[in-house]
Amino acid sequence: MKNDATFRWKLPPGYLFKIIPAILFVQKRIFREDSIQVLKSADIKTVTTGSRNIPKEGPVLFLVNHYSAPGFNALWLAMSISAACSKNITWVMTDAWTFPKRRFRKLARGVSHLILARIAKVYGFFSFQPISPDPINVMEQALSIRRVLHFARDYPESMLSIAPEGRDNSDEKIGIPPPGVGLLINAFIKLNYHLVPIGFIATRGTCHLNFGKPIHLSVKDSLEKDEFDGKISLQVMKSIGKLLPKKFRK
């Protein structure tokens, strides 16, 4: 499938008039309902393959590749998946963008943190700090993981979704998740969540979703923690990769 050189998809004014006050005053909204309306108003089509694999009820953890392309915003990925499901999805998202190659990146990161943290509150999402060796960040990440797992345990019929890579990839191909993601996914397995992989790409005016069958991971418990973590992540990304055109695989 041929890709646009640069995506110029814009959020409809009607949605902006609603979401901006909601962000400013932290007014609750339902992401699935907003997603359906936004895609319709923006004339973004969704082509879904494997719809029979979409569970009607939880507990489900959707695992999708973090698709990236010039000008493409991951919001469209989340909205297309949420609109395709019959039940509202709780997303696990970053709490800030990092802007590694930009001037004033600390300021930009701080502003993005304020906006994304409020979006998470508006829609009931969970946010994580970007992976970092900073001890303070590590502590914050641990607290965020606990909050997600408490929610998953207390609401066993919930549907959650994460993009294991957690960041854009410069070549548009799927990447390797950061350390700890495999252990997080394993925690969902212990809570009896079904792991449903999704392959996502976007072309001119269209989001393409390929839902796979629930995956069953086979990793030996006797492995060292880091190796165990890495093997789970690798199996998950291989399952997602099988749902993508070959040029998007590693």
SS3 labels along 1-64: CCCCCCCCCCCCHHHHHHHHHHHHHCCCCCHHHHHHHHHHHCCCEEEEECHHHCCCCCCEEEEE
pTM surpassing 0.85?
A: yes
Q: Assess whether pLDDT exceeds 80 at residue 167.
A: no
Domain count, the chain: 1
Q: Sign (positive/negative) of CA torsion 171, 198, 206, 178? A: negative
Least confident of 13-17, 114-118, 192-196, 225-229: 114-118
Domain range for 158 is: 13-248
CA dist 64 and 34 (Å) reads: 20
Least confident of 82-91, 103-112, 200-209, 239-248: 103-112
- Asked if residue 242 belongs to a domain, the reply is yes
Supply 37's token pair. Answer: 């309306």
Place of tokens 């909050």: 147
Which of 217, 231, 237 is CA-nearest to residue 166? Answer: 237
- Asked if residue 183 belongs to a domain, the reply is yes
The pLDDT > 70 percentage for the chain reads 86
Q: For the segment 1-49, what is each residue's pLDDT rounded down to a tens digit?
A: 344 446 788 999 999 999 999 999 999 999 999 999 999 999 999 999 9
Burial per residue of 118-133, b for 16 or more beta-carbon CB atoms within 10 angstroms, e otherwise: ebbebbebbbbbbbee
Least confident of 46-55, 162-171, 238-247: 162-171
- Asked if residue 7 belongs to a domain, the reply is no
Q: Assess whether pLDDT exceeds 90 at residue 137.
A: no
Which of 7, 18, 13, 10 is CA-nearest to residue 119? Answer: 18
- Helix, strand or coil for residue 69? coil
- How far the first Cα of the chain sits from its last, in Å, is 17
CB-CB neighbours of 200 under 10 Å: 23
Q: Sign (positive/negative) of CA torsion 179, 184, 190, 194? A: negative
CATH number at residue 236: 3.40.1130
Q: Which residue has the higher pLDDT, 153 or 109?
A: 153
pLDDT at 96: 63
Q: For the segment 55-107, what is each residue's pLDDT rounded down to a tens digit?
A: 888 799 999 999 988 888 889 999 999 999 999 999 998 776 665 566 666 76
Which of 20, 14, 18, 28 is CA-nearest to residue 120? Answer: 28
- Asked if residue 123 belongs to a domain, the reply is yes
- Asked if residue 28 belongs to a domain, the reply is yes
**Band of residue 112 on the pLDDT scale cut at 50, 70, 90:** confident
CA dist 205 and 186 (Å) reads: 36
